[in-house]
Amino acid sequence: MTLPADEAFHGVAHLVLGGLAVRLDLTYENLQDLELALDALLERSSEDGDVTVLVRVGDGAVHTVVGPFSSLRAELEAGDGDALDLRRILAAVCDRVEVEDRDGSQWVELTKTVQTGRRDGG
């Protein structure tokens, strides 16, 4: 989904993520981790543009791609030890964080391993 980067629209991303979590029967803790990671990235998006959030579920994980960002790689790679920075937040709630360059912008892919409560046929 693509939405205005303005903070007033962050709730829309939460609603979509929450709906997905319900359908997958994710634990509340997994949902909180995903929302915290998403919020940490959305806070760094340009207020005057759009932000795209792509969510894919497969192989026992939720993969979330967020972007575009003008510059996040330095912040993610140069974490300051014990400081509560973006790198540390994402590392605490996600299993993998990758930054990819696309068309002159940076996109962040988050991977969170989850176990769903869904059963076959349900």
Helix or strand run (H / E) with residue 110: strand 105-113
DSSP E strand boundaries for 16-104: 50-58, 61-69, 96-102
pTM of structure: 0.86
- For the chain, what is the mean pLDDT? 88
- Domain-by-domain residue ranges, the chain? 2-113
pLDDT of the residue at 79: 62
Q: Residues of the chain with pLDDT > 70: what percent?
A: 90
CATH (residue range 2-113): 3.30.565.10
Residue 81 backbone zone (phi > 0: left; psi -120 to 50: alpha; other: beta): left
Which residue in 57, 37, 52, 50 sits closest to 110, CA to CA? 37
For 27-53, b/e burial (b = at least 16 CB within 10 A) is eeebbebbbebbebbbebbeeeeebeb
Report, as an integer, the average pLDDT of 70-86: 78
Is 80 exceeded by the pLDDT of residue 81? no
